Amino acid sequence: MTAKTVLVTGGTGGIGKATAEGLARLGARVGIVGRDATRAEAAAADIRVKSGNPAVDVFTADMSSQAEVRRLAAEVLDAYPRLDVLVNNVGGFWAHRHVTADGLEHTFALNHLASFLLTNLLLERLEASAPARVVTVSSGAQSMGRIDFDDLQDTRSYSGQRAYNQSKLANVMFTYELARRLEGSGVTATVLHPGVTRTDAAAASRLWQVSSDLVGLSAAQR
């Protein structure tokens, strides 16, 4: 990964931070995206120390907001003349329905639309940097998902688990279609279930959580 540039969303803790640290150890220049500037700066400092790699950059954005995603993309394009890897990791689980600044159901907006929009905004830079790749963190919960095209915003009835499953299935469907469209471009698209891990993603709701799936739990945005 020496001389490679990577962007990791949701990179201030949990799976995202571990990914960023691992890539930094391998010699990559890593940009982490977090919602809170103080937390993001602290995470970057920690990654620099643990990896021995000073090339860790910080970007801040509330990725549930499409305006913030667009601003983030512009800042990344300005900062990085090339982008070798985009890791779409940001996500969360909410037991109760919330809407974003755009009026969208929060789970779908953050877990799927944010990654969808950011990927498309950075795609030309990824193609220009080929060979490159897009890696999206989904969940085994996608196997229980169903896309309700008649009520994507869950306005009729809300289930945190159903909304989460749907968003993770959308990650998979998006990645498969992206891979098809990028065939021959030198950019690969991969989607994954990271397995069972212990993170602090549910800390805000004071619920114990041991799985990156966040099954049955309420969590704050990573």
CA atoms lying within 13 Å on the CB side of residue 10: 25
176 is known as an active-site residue: no
Catalytic residue among 80, 158, 164, 176: 164
Q: CA separation (Å) from 24 to 45, 61, 100?
A: 12, 21, 33
Task: Find the distance separating the first CA and the last CA of the chain, reported in whole Å.
Answer: 25
Residue type, 128: A
In the sheet that holds 5-9, the strands lie side by side as: 56-60, 29-34, 5-9, 85-88, 132-137, 187-192
Q: Exposed, middle or buried by CB within 10 Å (0-12, 13-18, 19+), for 116? A: middle
Residues tagged active-site = 164
